[in-house]
Structure 1
Amino acid sequence: MRNFDFSPLYRSAIGFDRLVNLLEASQNQGSNNYPPYNVELVSENKYRVSIAVAGFAENELEITSNDNIMTVKGVHASEHNKINYLYQSIDERNFERKFQLAEFIQIKGAHLINGLLFIDLERIVPDTLKPRRIEIK
């Protein structure tokens, strides 16, 4: 694995600190592939994130959004840890996965079906920023 020093970018890139933070965050996330997920393009401005969360109940999952970062956490209830397994190969660890959302992306809802957590997202661009046609008189 390579390590990159982003400090020279901080000195010469004014106003791009958010981009540099994104690069650093993606590098620091490493190779954590748990839990697996898919990102679907449902329509032009609608997306769906599907996360495999088998073994988690709805009350053990949490979705938060802050500064265009969507965080999905799964924490098993304390009584879940009291099980005495003779053999265990089903992964039941707690997790926290972060997704960087583009500008104007909003979380519209979430639902849990058959061990998959579906999170619906939509890009809602304000009317003031949409292209508009100027009438020539």
Structure 2
Amino acid sequence: MRTYDLSPLYRNTVGFDRLFSLLDGGSGVEAAPTYPPYNIERTGENAYRITVAVAGFTEADLDIEVKENTLTLRGEKKAEQNGESAQVLYRGIAARSFERRFQLADHVEVKGAVLANGLLHVDLVRNIPEAKKPRHIAINTAEGPKAIEAESAPSEAAKAA
């Protein structure tokens, strides 16, 4: 696997240190996990949904945790409570334990999770505080305030009248 040196880009950018750190961390030698498969969808302007295929898992088998901008999904099949166990001739439905982590951007919160038809849907919403939202700044010229002062001051013709 190739490793890219991103250090020349650090000196040419401002404020992208976290992005490059994430890229550096993602280029490790270990292979990225592929189980369980998932989709990330944009459902609105500030709304997202992560859908994870968790066939065979129940709500009791799944755990969702959010800690320090990291969403962690865990699944572990509980042992069958019945004394009877069926003899499986072919196992095609994976029921192995998993742990999948997602890095969340700042101000992204987990709104809720739903398990339906073997799919776990985790809804996310980005709530940007008012102080962080972009705002419009008016540009004043040097003549602008003088024109306002001249209009508000009574004119010489008005004083003479």
Give the corresponding residue for 2:59: 58
Q: What amino acid is the match of 1:69? A: T
> Mind listing any 5+ residue stretches in structure 2 that lack a counterpart?
141-147, 149-161
Select the residue among 96, 99, 108 that pairs with 1:96: 99
The alpha-carbon distance between structure 1 residues 31 and 78, as it changes in their structure 2 partners (threshold 3 A), is same
Whole-Å separation in 2 of the counterparts to 1:18 and 1:134: 28
Does 1:77 pair with 2:41?
Answer: no
How big is the shift at 1:93? 1.0
- Once the two structures are aligned, what percentage of the paired residues are identical? 44
Q: Which has the larger radius of gyration?
A: 2
SS in 2 for 1:47: strand
The alpha-carbon distance between structure 1 residues 14 and 134, as it changes in their structure 2 partners (threshold 3 A), is closer
Matches within 5 A, 1:17-56: 18-28=18-28, 30-56=31-57
How big is the shift at 1:62? 0.8
Q: What amino acid is the match of 1:105? A: V
The alpha-carbon distance between structure 1 residues 65 and 89, as it changes in their structure 2 partners (threshold 3 A), is same
The alpha-carbon distance between structure 1 residues 132 and 31, as it changes in their structure 2 partners (threshold 3 A), is closer
How big is the shift at 1:90? 1.6
How big is the shift at 1:79? 2.4
Aligned length: 134
The alpha-carbon distance between structure 1 residues 83 and 98, as it changes in their structure 2 partners (threshold 3 A), is farther
Q: Is the 8 A contact 2:56 2:93 kept in 1?
A: no
SS in 2 for 1:79: coil
Does 1:126 pair with 2:129?
Answer: yes
SS in 2 for 1:107: strand
Cα RMSD (Å) = 3.0
How big is the shift at 1:110? 0.4
